[in-house]
Amino acid sequence: MNLENYLERITYSGTLKPDRATLDDLFAAQLATVAFENLDQQMGVPVSGDLRDIYAKIVLQKRGGWCFELNALFSWALQEVGFSVSFLAGHVGPDRPSLDQAPDHMLLRVDCDEPLLVDVGFGGAMSAPVPLRPDTVTQQPYTISLAAQHNGFIQYSENAGGSEAGYWFTLDEVEPSVFLPASKKLQTDPDSPFLRTLTAQRRYASRHVVLRGLVKRTLDSAGTREEVLATPKALVDCLKYDFGLEIPAIANSWPRIKQRHEDLFVS
């Protein structure tokens, strides 16, 4: 594993100091070049939680990944630069989890002048680190809020164009191994959203491009635009040009992806 190769992958040539400016620039660079995606899950390829496998997939094979991959790799890179990083455990959804509920989302805390929530693995609504305190911030086209709740939980929520998503977490530091059960379940449970539909997401400075099923949505300050992909070639081209993912083999999974799209959006 080589930091220079990682920096080349995210096309970053700026300074490397453990300060806020560098953190913001690295965050934006990874978001703009490394997509959130679940193509392996759609093609039936096992997804590893081993950091060296994650590095090979994202840096060498120029792929993207999900939270367990994207935040793990970003944590490694930040620590190589000299940042203080810890893993936090999240629970995706609107309802407060129980204290003994297994987490299903990996996020990061970075202490840099102040405690910061750092998450490059939730699809891309967050375009910069967020102070780890109750607050509401605007990161176009999203409004992002952190709210303190009972039993030490903090609720993260993001909203754009009437669409809201989020998760719950505490400030208890965890080891990466705590996410292995969730990774296995989300790859094998038929009801897993990562199996039920394809997704890819990429975040730019003020624009968010989201592919869910065969519906591509572009969100920016002008609103939301949608396009439905109608052919295997359209899917391959969309992944290549909108998300930087050259995976022609995904066309072989077209019948399954199309059926899952119809189950989600048509039924």
Q: Which amino acids are annotated catalytic?
A: 67, 105, 119
Any idea of the CA torsion for 47, 53, 54, 55, to the nearest 10 degrees? -160
3-state SS of the chain? CCHHHHHHHCCCCCCCCCCHHHHHHHHHHHHHHCCEECHHHHHCCCCCCCHHHHHHHHHHCCCCECHHHHHHHHHHHHHHHCCEEEEEEEEECCCCCCCCCCCCEEEEEEEECEEEEECCCCCCCCCCCEECCCEEEEECCEEEEEEECHHHCEEEEEEECCEEEEEEECCCCECHHHHHHHHHHHHHCCCCHHHHCCEEEEECCCCEEEEECCEEEEEECCEEEEEECCCHHHHHHHHHHHHCCCCHHHHHHHHHHHHHHHHHHCC
Output the CA–CA distances (angstroms, integers) from residue 213 to 124, 197, 219, 258, in the order listed.
Answer: 17, 5, 17, 7
Distance, in Å, from the CA atom of 165 to the CA atom of 32, rounded to the nearest integer, reads: 21
